[in-house]
Chains A and B, each alone.
Chain A
Amino acid sequence: MQASRARLFKEYKEVQREKAVDPDIQLSCDDSNIFKWTALIKGPSETPFEGGVFQLAFSVPEQYPLQPPQVRFLTKIFHPNVHFKTGEICLDILKNAWSPAWTLQSVCRAIIALMAHPEPDSPLNCDSGNLLRSGDVRGYQSMARMYTKLAAMPKKG
């Protein structure tokens, strides 16, 4: 418990310092609970998520960093490795390939990388995965772009 709190506090301070360094990630800690974090990440450029801002929810276990944090998308996203309804993410480093050397910040970076490089062979959203697997990149991109517009961009007017 103490170790995880100390480590999260370190990360908190680092985040405050690094804010300007990585403009794509804005991590913030819940005011009353250091084990709850949210992040706003920018959709990577040259992807259908470009221009969107996606919110992630982190739930950090007491055994952190020996155990990985649980992360899910709060913003709806059409992506092969993200569950369309729950926002659950299928990413190896959040499951069996976790290492305590990862931080919340680096997890965000890994998720941004996942957005740019979907892994259609392990789909959590089969419809999305199947579009890519069948080579319909245009179909996939337009669906993903539509949901980015609908859910991840400020409403016009």
Chain B
Amino acid sequence: MDSEEDMHDANDIESLDDDFYSGETEDAPMGFYSDYDDDADDYFDDADYSERTESSRMEQNYTVLKESDIRQRQEDDISRVSAVLSISRVASSILLRHYNWSVSKVNDAWFSNEDRVRKAVGLLDKPVVQFPNASELICGICFETHPRSWIESAACGHPYCITCWAGYIGTSINDGPGCLTLRCPDPACGAAIGQDMINLLVSSEDKEKYSRYLLRSYIEDNKKTKWCPAPGCEYAVNFDAGSGNCDVSCLCSYSFCWNCTEEAHRPVDCVTVAKWILKNSAESENMNWILANSKPCPKCKRPIEKNQGCMHMTCTPPCKFEFCWLCVGAWSDHGERTGGFYACNRYEAAKQEGVYDEAEKRREMAKNSLERYTHYYERWASNQSSRQKALADLQQMQNVHIEKLSDTQCQPESQLKFITEAWLQIVECRRVLKWTYAYGYYLPEHEHAKKQFFEYLQGEAESGLERLHQCAEKELQQFLTADGPSKEFNDFRTKLAGLTSVTRNYFENLVRALENGLSDVDSHGAACSKTTSSKNVGGSSKGRGGRGKGATLTSGSCRITDDNYWSCEHCTYANAKSDTTCQMCQQQRR
């Protein structure tokens, strides 16, 4: 394992370079992260680890939007369209919503064929029906005769009384965001109902709901914006595609992955994270029920329960994706050329024979590998809670202790930044470490060399982090309780800053190694796995629960517990020695 030695040396050299970074940072807008990496070239070259901690540099490819910013942008877009097309603001709002709030798409469509756009969106030039002289009109919903003043109409002129309007619009608003595309009640008429009508006719509560849907639509229908997924956070993020980094940090201090909107999970990829999260919840009854009784919409992934009707499913607005319940394919593919329902009937038959029953299979597998899973889950979860604690400690530090410490040690607060930075590093490392356990869980069993290398890196990183955490938590205490300046404080500063930088290097190595798929060990990894697997094909998923935290170079024999079984690489099921394919997933034994 030469590479490990190399790595170790490299660490030491780099850590010397990086030691003196503190004290010169500008106040980042968030007051939370700071940039301690001056080496801007790294940023582009090898997706350096530090790029995500320095959130607020000018390279940042996203903007966090507060509600006022969102409204402002929405208003600006509406005004722009309204001015360019010379139409009312209400009409331009309807148009923009139809084209997913893309001003350029609206302009393109409008100027290429205004009539078609008007028709599609329901913006009428002139009324369809007119009653210029009537003093009384019959409402098209309740069929009562009402004085003219009680009657309202959309641009089409179809008359309905204000009570029925309120009921019609109110029902639609309470049905969800579909109310944004509301049309005139007359089935043959497509006239759009805009916000002016809404504000004229419904209760203030419904108006509020409508305006909230409109705001949400601006974020949710727009491909460049997403809500911050943190609970209770009301900010949205506008992301400019281009750079490879998908991690974004919201103003609420929550970091998440733009791609999958799970919390930031670098260096682990989105697919692994999704698998891991599904796995975490697969144990719960809830997920079992969802798996058994629902299917995710193939487009927006919301779980859908089918409780009646035909196989032609339409997802609820705003998704509205049409698909076939049986094969979960797009409905538009169910033309004559695919054989339509015949193909889906075959699927049904195959399902009854158990060929397609993946949900069942998944549950079965989860049981088989439960022990192995528990090992990784416990460590994942404990790093998670440790990170929460560290976040709380960081807040406490920033809000209370720093000021106090500044007084007792007679140091300006700017000189105490190294403490905050240590805590930020801890928070970040806990996050990375947490995800490495998900990574480790999915690391193929037969790749012994990779596994060893991974566990070595993880162990090094973890023990470094423990030292740092210990120092920041325990050794700081004496200075917090001290009455006056102490001599040892400068030593403490050197130690903590040193530990911070060493730990950062460890984690950078870990992240880099995981992001390139542990390719350093590829060459002898293959040879190693060949020899071991030909000799020791035994080994079930049992018997590896006892491996401690930070175990580094364990022997490659942990798979062998019983020579009568071999565990499937694909699903970990323990098969009898005589089987050549996995009894659970039909994978060939390798």
Measured CB to CB, the residues of A under 8 A from B are 3, 6-7, 10-11, 14, 63, 65-67, 81, 88, 90, 93, 95-97, 99-102, 121-124, 126, 129-130, 133
Query: Would A123 and B141 be within 8 Å (CB), given that A3-B167, A88-B309 are in contact?
Result: no
Q: Chain A residues with Cβ under 8 A from B308's Cβ?
A: 88
8 A Cβ contacts from B438-454 to A: none
Q: Does B11 contact A (CB under 8 A)?
A: no
Q: Contacts A93-B187, A130-B341 known; A121 to B309 CB distance under 8 Å?
A: no
Give the residues in chain B near A130, CB-CB below 8 Å. Answer: 341-342
B485 at the interface (CB under 8 A from A): no
In the complex, are the beta carbons of B310 and A124 less than 8 A apart?
Answer: yes
Which single residue of chain A is at the shortest CB-CB distance from B174?
A66
B342 neighbours in A (Cβ, 8 Å): 130
Set of chain B residues within 8 Å of A81, measured between Cβ atoms: 310
B312 interface contact, C-beta 8 A: yes
Query: Does B341 contact A100, Cβ atoms closer than 8 Å?
Result: no
Known contacts A10-B143, A100-B141, A126-B345; decide if A66 and B171 are in contact (CB<8 Å): yes
Whether A121 lies near B334 (C-beta < 8 A) is: yes
**Would you mind naming 17 contact pairs between A and B with Cβ atoms under 8 Å apart?**
A6-B144, A10-B142, A11-B143, A88-B308, A88-B309, A90-B312, A96-B314, A100-B164, A100-B167, A100-B185, A102-B187, A121-B340, A122-B312, A124-B309, A124-B310, A126-B345, A130-B342
Bound-state CA distance A129–B341 (Å) is 9
Distance of A122 Cα from B331 Cα, bound (Å): 10
What mask results when residues 457 to 487 of chain B are scored 1 for a CB within 8 Å of chain A, else 0? Answer: 0000000000000000000000000000000
Are the C-beta atoms of B341 and A123 separated by less than 8 Å? yes
Contact A66 B143 (CB under 8 A): no
Q: Are B167 and A66 in contact (CB under 8 A)?
A: yes
| Known contacts A90-B309, A124-B310; is-contact A99 B185 (Cβ 8 Å) | yes
B110 nearest CB across to chain A (Å): 27
CB distance from A130 to the nearest CB of B (A): 6
B336 within 8 A of A: yes
Kindly list the 8 A-B residue pairs having the minimum CB-CB distance in the complex, ordered from nearest.
A122-B312, A66-B171, A10-B143, A124-B310, A100-B141, A101-B185, A90-B310, A99-B185
Given the interface pairs A100-B185, A126-B341, the reply to whether A65 lies near B309 with Cβ below 8 Å is no
The residues of B with any CB-CB pair to A shorter than 8 Å are 140-144, 163-164, 167-168, 171, 185-187, 308-312, 314, 334, 336, 340-342, 345
Residues of B near A99 (CB, < 8 A) are 185-187
- Cα-based distance from A153 to B169 in the complex (angstroms): 44
Docked complex Cα distance between A99 and B341 (Å)? 31
- B310→A123 contact, CB < 8 A: yes
**Separation of A102 and B187 alpha carbons in the complex (Å):** 8
User: A88 contacts which chain B residues (CB < 8 A)?
Assistant: 308-309
A121 contacts B171, CB within 8 Å? no
Most B CB within 10 A of own CB, among A7, A96, A101, A126? A101
Residues of A within 8 A of B144 (CB): 6, 10
Contacts of A121 in B (CB 8 A): 312, 334, 340
**Please, which residues of chain B bring their CB within 8 A of the CB of A133?**
336, 340-341
Chain B residues with CB under 8 A of A14:
143
- Bound CA span A17–B164, Å: 24
* Contacting pair A7 B345 (CB below 8 A): no
CA distance in complex: A95, B307 (Å): 13
Set of chain B residues within 8 Å of A93, measured between Cβ atoms:
187
User: Smallest distance from the beta carbon of A137 to chain B beta carbons, Å?
Assistant: 14
A95 to B308: give the CA distance in the assembly, Å: 11
In the bound complex, CA of A141 to CA of B309 (Å): 24
- Docked pose: A38 CA to B336 CA in angstroms: 37
- Complex CA gap A118/B310 in Å reads 14
B227 to chain A, nearest CB (A): 26
| Bound Cα distance A95, B345 (Å) | 25
Q: CA of A148 to CA of B164 in the docked complex: distance in angstroms?
A: 40
Q: Are A7 and B141 in contact (CB under 8 A)?
A: yes
Q: Which of A88, A95, A126 has the most CB of B within 10 A?
A: A126
Complex formed: what's the CA distance from A97 to B336 in Å? 26
A101–B341 touching, CB < 8 Å: no
B142 with A7: CB separation less than 8 A: yes
Report the separation of the CA atoms of residues A14 and B163 in the bound assembly, to the nearest whole angstrom: 22
Identify the interface centre among A66, A81, A130: most chain B CB within 10 Å of its CB.
A66
Asked if A63 and B171 sit within 8 Å, CB to CB, the answer is yes
| Closest B residue, CB atoms, query A67 | B171
A90 to B308, CA, bound (A): 10
Q: Which residues of B contact A7 (CB under 8 A)?
A: 141-143
**Cα distance, A75 to B239, chains bound together (Å):** 58
Instruction: Decide: B187 and A101 in contact? CB cutoff 8 A.
Output: yes
B141 and A101 contact, CB distance less than 8 A = yes
Residues of B within 8 A of A126 (CB): 341, 345
- Closest approach, in angstroms, between the C-beta of A40 and any C-beta of chain B? 24
Distance from B342 Cβ to chain A, minimum over Cβ atoms (Å): 7
A residues less than 8 Å from B141 (CB atoms): 7, 65, 100-101
* Chain B: CB-nearest residue to A80: B310
Least CB distance from B40 to A in Å reads: 54
In the complex, which residues of chain A have a beta carbon less than 8 angstroms from the beta carbon of B309? 88, 90, 95, 124
Q: In the complex where A90-B310, A126-B345 touch, is A3 in contact with B142 (Cβ < 8 A)? A: yes
Beyond the given A100-B168, A101-B185, A133-B340, please list 5 additional residue pairs across the A-B interface where CB-CB is below 8 A: A7-B143, A96-B314, A100-B164, A100-B167, A102-B187
User: Which residue on chain B has the smallest CB distance to residue A98?
Assistant: B187
A95, B309: Cα distance in complex, Å: 10
Q: A151 to B151, alpha carbons, bound, how many Å? A: 47
Within the complex, what minimum Cβ distance (angstroms) separates A18 from chain B? 13
How far is A90 from B141 in the complex, measured between Cα atoms in Å? 24
Chain B residue, CB-CB nearest to A96: B314
Residues in B neighbouring A129, C-beta threshold 8 A: 341
Q: How far is the CB of B335 from chain A (nearest CB, A)?
A: 9
User: CA A63 – CA B167 in complex, angstroms?
Assistant: 9
